[in-house]
Amino acid sequence: MSTETRAAPAHPRRIVFIDVDGTILEHGEHVAPSTGEAVRAARAAGHLVYLSTGRSAADIHPRVAQIGFDGAITNSGALVTSGDTVVVDRPLTPAATDRLLTVLRSRGIRFFLQTHDGIFASDDMAELLVTYAEELQERDAARGLRPEDSLSGLANREFPGVEEADLTQIAKAVFVSDHADGLEVLRADLGDRFQVVPGSIPLPGGSNGEICERDTTKGSAIELLLAHLGRDAADAIAIGDSWNDVEMFQVCGTSVAMGNAHAELKDLSDFVTTAVLDDGVSNAFRRLGLI
What gap in Å lies between CA 141 and CA 193, rounded to an integer? 44
In this predicted structure, what is the pLDDT of residue 152? 46
CB atoms within 10 A of CB 214: 14
In this predicted structure, what is the pLDDT of residue 142? 62
What gap in Å lies between CA 122 and CA 151, rounded to an integer? 19
Length of the chain: 291
Pairing of strands 194-198, 207-213: antiparallel
pTM: 0.88
What gap in Å lies between CA 31 and CA 19, rounded to an integer? 13
> Residues of the chain whose pLDDT is less than 70?
1-12, 28, 133-156, 200-203
